[in-house]
Amino acid sequence: MRDNGESMTTMEQLQVVVNNMQAARSQVASLKAQVQELEMTIITVKEQPSELALHKQLSGVLIEVADRDALVTELETTLNSLKEHLERFLERENQLMETYQELKKVLEGES
């Protein structure tokens, strides 16, 4: 809405939707990268020989991991959370695309 109470034009609405789509796509790309990285980390941790030390970074300090199973559980919990966020952003992106298509049809009808 504008300060004087006028509603946004269809073109302005379309621009807002496009900006939101770009932001959603950026978040989707970031989340996909984080999911892939975490999946690789889980695989690596599981494949690390038990006789070799395993470390994780905590507040800029590397500490040795005593309980590998707990670490894997923690990583898998984080992975599931990221996947849920990713799914929500994908749904939002689809909603925005539908809104974009609807607004585009309205604009084409106004031409």
pLDDT exceeds 50 at position 72: yes
Candidates 84, 101, 88, 77; CA nearest to 18 is 101
pTM: 0.80
In whole numbers, what is the pLDDT of the chain averaged over residues? 91
- Amino acid present at 105: K
Domain ranges of the chain: 10-99
DSSP class of residue 28? H
CATH class of the domain defined by 10-99: mainly alpha
State the pLDDT at residue 1: 43
* 83 C-beta neighbours (distance < 10 Å), count: 16
- Tens-place pLDDT, residues 34-53: 999 999 999 999 999 989 99
